[in-house]
Homo-oligomer: A and B are copies of this chain.
Amino acid sequence: MAARTPRPAGTPEDLGRTPGLRERKKQQTRYALVQAAHVLFLSQGFARTTVDEIASAVDVSQRTFFRYFANKDEVALAVMADAEDYFIECLRHRPAEETPLQALRASIVKAWRDLGNAKASGPGSISSALELMRMIEDAPTLLAAHLRRVTEQERIVVRVLAEREGLDPREDLRPTVLAAVFGSVLRAAHLSWTADREPEGPEGMIALIERHFDQLGPALTGHWRA
């Protein structure tokens, strides 16, 4: 996080301040690394791309790369990480009248829609994030890292839900359980996205997510046989 949205050093006061040259250069380098990495990953695959390649594509030493990203996985997942942050932001601003489940569902739809409208193409865009998802699914270590990130995100969701409803997640299990269920439904939708590639663009993904959500009730209740 601190690396993703860094602050100019100093008191919390100077938030809107234009960061100095040093800070801007860092942002640039980081961005360039992400870009270069994505291009290489998508063209020749994740495993067959070495960190050295990425670094030298940006004219930076390998050591520097590892000062920006803890490992090769992280640079691949950087774009998704931003999207996840935005989702949390959406969740924080849902009206209090909504049911927790409704708030989650509305947030994820809004997040996808906004990001879809924001920048239609180019690196760091939604479409490249979607390509990324396919890549993740068949690069074992990458998938593993991604799943780990997702569960960390779930922890945050638990916190936000608990605050919102004013209860202690250590006593009341509902936030934990709901966050877990929500995460699993999303993951199922993602998987389904990578499998059949029917729907196109963010709207297709949103539709898929909705369809999965609609099956939550039916899946949990009664028998399924006709």
Cα distance A147–B172 when bound, in Å? 25
- Give the copy number: 2
Q: State the main secondary structure of chain A at its contact with B.
A: helix
Chain B residue at minimal CB-CB distance from A144: B144
B176–A188 CB distance below 8 A: yes
Asked whether A181 is an interface residue with its Cβ less than 8 Å from the other chain, the reply is: yes
Chain B residue at minimal CB-CB distance from A155: B191
Cα distance A104–B147 when bound, in Å? 23
* Contact of A177 (CB < 8 Å), options: B144, B166, B178, B219: B219
B188–A177 CB distance below 8 A: yes
Chain B residue at minimal CB-CB distance from A165: B224
A225–B166 CB distance below 8 A: yes
Asked whether A192 is an interface residue with its Cβ less than 8 Å from the other chain, the reply is: yes
Interface residues of A in 50-100 (CB under 8 A from B): 99-100
**Interface size range on A against B:** 35 or more
Chain B residue at minimal CB-CB distance from A146: B144
| A141 smallest CB distance to B (angstroms) | 7
Interface residues of A in 169-190 (CB under 8 A from B): 170, 172-178, 180-181, 183-185, 187-188
Cα distance A173–B9 when bound, in Å? 50
Cα distance A180–B225 when bound, in Å? 20
* Contact of A141 (CB < 8 Å), options: B144, B173, B185, B212: B144
Cβ of A222: which chain B residues have Cβ within 8 Å of it? 99
Cα distance A49–B143 when bound, in Å? 24
Cβ of A225: which chain B residues have Cβ within 8 Å of it? 165-166
Most chain B CB atoms below 10 A, which of A151, A167, A218, A224? A224
Cβ of A215: which chain B residues have Cβ within 8 Å of it? 173-174, 177
Cα distance A99–B211 when bound, in Å? 22
